[in-house]
């Protein structure tokens, strides 16, 4: 392997060390901000180191066909040290700012959805219920008024038709007794009386 290839590999490993530090700080900040359970941290650490090893080996294979030499570890160490000396605080602050911005964006979106969709739907629902209640009350009021207006004419009609109804009643009495119409009519009358008292005598 030529000297230029060795320096190239060392530079690539230095960049890999910088990338490893960036990803490590980023996932640590995210896990703290999102309040991951503590027992998740060892699992995430293992996943991180496995992924980092695979990426570093892939980069190493692309740069010098996977040959492991001392300068490879030196480049990684220099990259990690430079990252924690120069970039760690910047990355942490940047990741926290991004998380805060995403949270504010989500809050704005949810607020817009509440104002544009949820509240109009609730308002329409309440308006429909008010209209339905008003319509029901108006219908009951009209029916009560109609019944009160018709009652005198109904009594007058019954009084005028009484001479005809009495002979007809005598003629229908055997049939009424046979078909047990009296009991059935009494049940219907009780039901009508209950509905009357419920709707028109409040």
d(C-alpha 1, C-alpha 51), whole Å: 27
Question: Per the structure block, which two tokens stand in for 142?
Answer: 């009209």
CB 24 within 8 A of CB 83: no
Q: Is the pTM of this model over 0.75?
A: no
HEC per residue, 101-169: HHHHHHHHHHHHHHHHHHHHHHHHHHHHHHHHHHHHHHHHHHHHHHHHHHHHHHHHHHHHHHHHHHHHH
Q: How do residues 2-61 score in pLDDT, each as one tens digit?
A: 666 777 777 888 888 888 888 888 888 888 887 777 777 778 778 878 888 888 878 777
Q: How do residues 69-93 score in pLDDT, each as one tens digit?
A: 777 778 888 888 888 888 888 988 9
Domain boundaries, the chain: 3-96
Instruction: Specify the residue for token string 């896990």.
Output: 31
Asked whether residue 64 carries a pLDDT value surpassing 80, the answer given is: no
Q: How do residues 113-150 score in pLDDT, each as one tens digit?
A: 999 888 999 999 999 988 988 888 888 888 888 777 77
């Amino acid at each position: 392997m030529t000297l230029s290839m060795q320096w190239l590999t060392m530079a690539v490993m230095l960049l890999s060390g910088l990338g490893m530090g960036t990803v490590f700080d980023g996932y640590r900040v995210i896990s703290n901000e999102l309040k991951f359970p503590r027992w998740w941290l060892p699992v995430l650490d293992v996943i991180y180191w496995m992924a980092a090893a695979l990426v570093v080996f892939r980069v190493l294979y692309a740069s010098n066909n996977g040959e492991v030499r001392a300068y490879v570890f030196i480049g990684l160490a220099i990259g990690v040290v430079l990252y924690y000396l120069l970039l760690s605080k910047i990355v942490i602050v940047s990741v926290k700012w991004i998380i805060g911005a995403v949270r504010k964006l989500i809050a704005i979106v949810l607020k817009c959805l509440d104002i544009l969709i949820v509240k109009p739907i609730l308002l329409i629902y309440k308006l429909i219920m008010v209209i339905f209640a008003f319509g029901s009350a108006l219908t009951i009021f009209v029916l009560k008024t109609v019944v009160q207006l018709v009652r005198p004419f109904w009594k007058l009609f019954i009084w005028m038709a009484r001479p005809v109804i009495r002979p007809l009643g005598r003629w229908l009495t055997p049939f009424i007794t046979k078909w047990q119409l009296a009991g059935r009519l009494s049940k219907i009358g009780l039901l009508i009386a209950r509905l009357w008292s419920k709707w028109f005598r409040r």
